[in-house]
C-alpha cells in the first residue's frame, strides 16, 4: 500500500500537543516561551552517504538526527522546547518511518520536547531538524567567551573517550579491525550519541565558553580559539581514551582522538577557580568530564606528549567542501 504525504505525516509524526499551543497540522506551530527567556535556535541537515551510512537502522537515524541538534542547544546551555522536521524520502516507506519515528520520539521524550511541524517531500533521503530552546537572558554559553588561563574540559561517555565514533567509522571503512564486542560499544557511540543537555544547563554561569564536538576535537577547538582569539595547549595524556582506542597504533589514535568527528560531547573552558563548580555541574548532570589542557594568549594549538615534548597541531576539523581528512 502506498501512503500519501499527508497520511504519512498523520500516521508517524502527528502526536497530541503538550506544551505547544498548536502543533502538526496547521500552517504554523504556536509556542509560548517562558516570559523573559531568550530563544535558542539551531538546525542540522543529515544527508544519506554523507552524514550516515545507508545501512543505518531507522531507529538509530531518528535518534541521531535529533541528538545532533540537541547537542547544539546543549553547547549553548539552552533548555530544549520543541523541534521541526524536514524530510526528503525516496519513497513512502512505512517500515522505515515507523522505526525512524520510534528513535526520534524516544529521545524527544527523554528531553520532554515535542515535534511541532515540518515539511515532507520526495527526494534523496535527507533529514533536517530545527530545534528551539530557551535560555535566561545573557546566560547562553558562547564560543567567544573563553579567557587566557582557562582550563579546557571535555565530557565523555562512561568507559569511553573522545574519538570513539570516528574509530567506529574507521572500522566500517576497513582501516582498523577490532573484536566484535569492542566494536559494538564504539558503534553505539557513533549511532546513538547522547546530547549533553543537562551538562550544558548546569554549566551556565560556570563555563566561560563552550562548543559541541561534531567535526572533531581539534577542529571544534579551533572554532573556539578563533572566536575567543586565543591559543591552547592540550595534554595528550589527559585526553579521555577508551581501552579500545588506547590499544591502537599512535597514528590511528591521533587521527581519531584529535581529528575525530561525530562525538557530540561538550568542549568547554572555565576559570581555574571554577574547578569545583565544574565537577559539581558534571555530577549534577551525571556526565564524566576531563580537564584536557589550558587556553593561552599566544595563538596556535600545541599538544604536549607523554615524553614531555610539545609540538604544534593543526586546529582543523572536517570540512565538507575540503578534500582533506575524511
Specify the residue, 25 or 149, whose C-beta has the smaller distance to ligand ADP. Answer: 25
Smallest distance, ligand ADP to C-beta of residue 120, A? 4
Q: Where are the alpha helices (DSSP H) in 82-128?
A: 94-110
Q: Where are the beta strands (DSSP E) in 148-230?
A: 151-156, 209-212
Specify the residue, 120 or 253, whose C-beta has the smaller distance to ligand ADP. Answer: 120
Specify the residue, 28 or 95, whose C-beta has the smaller distance to Mg ion. Answer: 28
What is the DSSP code (8-state) at residue 300?
S
Binding site for ligand ADP (CB under 6 A): 9, 13, 24-27, 85, 87, 115, 117-120
Specify the residue, 24 or 186, whose C-beta has the smaller distance to Mg ion. Answer: 24
Smallest distance, Mg ion to C-beta of residue 29, A? 12
Cell of 230: 586565543
Smallest distance, ligand ADP to C-beta of residue 119, A? 5
* Residue 155 to residue 31: CA distance in whole angstroms: 32
Smallest distance, ligand ADP to C-beta of residue 57, A? 19
Binding status of residue 26 toward Mg ion by CB under 5 A: no
Smallest distance, Mg ion to C-beta of residue 119, A? 4
Binding status of residue 7 toward Mg ion by CB under 5 A: no
Closest alpha carbon to 156 in 220, 218, 241: 241
Smallest distance, ligand ADP to C-beta of residue 101, A? 9
Task: Identify what 27 binds: Mg ion, ligand ADP, none; CB under 5 to 8 Å per kind.
Answer: ligand ADP
Binding status of residue 119 toward Mg ion by CB under 5 A: yes
Closest alpha carbon to 225 in 324, 310, 297: 297
* Residue 70 to residue 320: CA distance in whole angstroms: 21
Burial bucket for residue 325 (CB in 10 Å: 0-12, 13-18, 19+): middle
Three-state SS sequence of 198-213: HHHHHCCCCCCEEEEC
Specify the residue, 128 or 161, whose C-beta has the smaller distance to ligand ADP. Answer: 128
Binding status of residue 286 toward Mg ion by CB under 5 A: no
Whose cell is 573563553? That residue is: 146
Binding status of residue 298 toward Mg ion by CB under 5 A: no
Per CB under 5 A, residues contacting Mg ion are 119
Amino acid at each position: 500500500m502506498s501512503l500519501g504525504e499527508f497520511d504519512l505525516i498523520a500516521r508517524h509524526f502527528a502526536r497530541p500537543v503538550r506544551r505547544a499551543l498548536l502543533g502538526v497540522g496547521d500552517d504554523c506551530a504556536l509556542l509560548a516561551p517562558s516570559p523573559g527567556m531568550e530563544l535558542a535556535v539551531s538546525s542540522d541537515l543529515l544527508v544519506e552517504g554523507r552524514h550516515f551510512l545507508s545501512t543505518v537502522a531507522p531507529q538509530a537515524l531518528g535518534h541521531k538526527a535529533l541528538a545532533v541538534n540537541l547537542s547544539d542547544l546543549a553547547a549553548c546551555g539552552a533548555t530544549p522546547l520543541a523541534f521541526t522536521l524536514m524530510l526528503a524520502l525516496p519513497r513512502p516507506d512505512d517500515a522505515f518511518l515507523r522505526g525512524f519515528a520510534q528513535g526520534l520520539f524516544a529521545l524527544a521524550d527523554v528531553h520532554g520536547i515535542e515535534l511541532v511541524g515540518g515539511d515532507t517531500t520526495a527526494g534523496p533521503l535527507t533529514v533536517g531538524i530545527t530545534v528551539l530552546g530557551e535560555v535566561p537572558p545573557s546566560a547562553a554559553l558562547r564560543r567567544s567567551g573563553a579567557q587566557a588561563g582557562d582550563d579546557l574540559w571535555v565530557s565523555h561517555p562512561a568507559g569511553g573517550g573522545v574519538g570513539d565514533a570516528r574509530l567506529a567509522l574507521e572500522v566500517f571503512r576497513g582501516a582498523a579491525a577490532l573484536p566484535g564486542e569492542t566494536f559494538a560499544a564504539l558503534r553505539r557511540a557513533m549511532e546513538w550519541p547522547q546530547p549533553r543537555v543537562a551538562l550544558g544547563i548546569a554549566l551556565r554561569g560556570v563555563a566561560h565558553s563552550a562548543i559541541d564536538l561534531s567535526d572533531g576535537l581539534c577542529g571544534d577547538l579551533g572554532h573556539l580559539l578563533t572566536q575567543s582569539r586565543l591559543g591552547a595547549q592540550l595534554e595528550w595524556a589527559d585526553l579521555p581514551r577508551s581501552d579500545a582506542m588506547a590499544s591502537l597504533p599512535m597514528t590511528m589514535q591521533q587521527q581519531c582522538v584529535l581529528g575525530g568527528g561525530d562525538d557530540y560531547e561538550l568542549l568547554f573552558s572555565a576559570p581555574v577557580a571554577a574547578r569545583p563548580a565544574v565537577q559539581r555541574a558534571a555530577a549534577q548532570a551525571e556526565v564524566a568530564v576531563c580537564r584536557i589542557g589550558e587556553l593561552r594568549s599566544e595563538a596556535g594549538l600545541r599538544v604536549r606528549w607523554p615524553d614531555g615534548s610539545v609540538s604544534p597541531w593543526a586546529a582543523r576539523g572536517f570540512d565538507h567542501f575540503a578534500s582533506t581528512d575524511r
